[in-house]
Amino acid sequence: MAWLSDSLTTRAVTILVAPDPAEKIGLTRAAATAWRGSALRDIGDTQPPDRPARPDRPPLLPPRDMPKRRAGGSAAGHIALLHALTPSEGRTFGREELLIEGEGG
Residue by residue, pLDDT tens for the chain (105 residues) are 555 568 999 999 999 999 998 999 999 999 999 989 888 888 999 999 999 888 888 778 888 887 776 656 788 777 777 777 776 655 555 555 545 554 544
At 39 the pLDDT is: 85
Distance from C-alpha of 21 to C-alpha of 14, rounded to nearest angstrom:
13
At 40 the pLDDT is: 85
Type of residue found at 26 = G
Angle between helices 8-17 and 21-36 (to 10 degrees): 170
